[in-house]
Amino acid sequence: MEKITVPAIVKKKNKEKIVMITSYDYLMTKLVDKAGVDGILVGDSVGMVLLGYETTLPVTMDEIAHHLKAVVRAKPKALVIADMPFLSYEVSKYEALRNAGKLIKLGAEAVKIEGGVEVVDKVEVMVKHGIPVMGHIGLTPQRMLKFGGYKLMGKKAELAIKLIEDAKALEDAGAFSIVIEFTAAEVAAEITRRLKIPTICIGSGPHCDGQIIVLHDILGLSENPPPFVKKYANLADEVVKAVSMYVEEVRKGLFPTEKHTRRMKPEEYKVFKDLLDKL
C-alpha cells in the first residue's frame, strides 16, 4: 500500500469509505497500519485511555508530542493526524500556528482541532502556512463542561443548523476534512451532503464519508466505552486470563521450564564451577 496523504483522503469523498482509528504507541500503530486503516489519530483521548484522566482537558502538548513520536517511529502508511489539546490553539492564532508547527515537526501530517466558527481564524492561519487541518464538530470533548457532560448533539433543529454553519465555515477556512462526533445521524448526513470535503463520523451514524473510533474501545480494553461503540474483541478478559495463568505458574514453579531456559556449555560450566571454588 502506498503512503496515504491528505489529497488521497480528500479524493475518497463519495467514492470509498474512509477508515480511521486512534493509536498512541509504536506497537499498536504497526498493527492497525497492517490492518489497512487510512488514517491514524494521535488523539487527546490518550488522556482517558492510557493516562488515567477523567476527561481530555488535562492533556498537554508534551503528552501529545510523546505519543506522536512513538506513532511516527512505526512509519505507518496511514495518514498521521495529531490532536491539538485544550488551550494549545484557543488563545491566539499565532499560538495555534506555533503549536501546530511543533506537531508537524515531530512527524504529524495533519492536526485536528475542535470547534466551529470560533476557530476559523486559527484554521485559516495554519492552512495558509501549509499545515493541513481536520476540523471537529458535534460533541467536542474539550468543551464538555459547557455542555454539561457527554451528550448527543444536534437533537434540536436550531442547534442542528448551527452545526451545519460550523461545518461550512471550517470548509471555507481550508479544513481538508471534519470529524462529526456523537451527533444525530440526520444532521451528519446533511452536513456530508453539503460539504465538498470528507466527513468522518464517530457515533454519528453511517452516512458520513468515513468513520473513526478509539482503538481500545473496539478491542474491549476500555472500562466504560461510549454507547455507539461496537466491540470487535474482548481483550481485557484475555489479558487478565493470560496474566493470571502467568502468576499461577510462577508461584507453583511451573514457569520457566527447560524450554524457556538457556544454559552454559558443559565445559564452560565446569570452568565456572572451578572459579567459584577459588572465591
Out of 63, 109, 171, 181, pick the active-site residue.
Answer: 181
CA distance 171 to 213: 22
- d(CA 127, CA 107) in angstroms, rounded, equals 17
Do the beta carbons of residue 136 and residue 110 sit within 8 Å? no
Q: Is 267 a catalytic residue?
A: no
**Cα–Cα distance between 89 and 122 in angstroms, integer?**
7
Element at 275 (helix H, strand E): helix 266-277
CB 182 within 8 A of CB 150: yes
Q: Which long-range contacts (CB under 8 A, 24 or more apart) does 265-272 make?
A: none
Q: How far apart are CA 117 and CA 162, in angstroms?
A: 9
Burial 192-215 (b: 16+ CB within 10 A, else e): beebebbbbbbbbbebbbbbbbbb
Cross-strand partners of 41: 22, 81
Q: Active-site residues: which are they?
A: 181
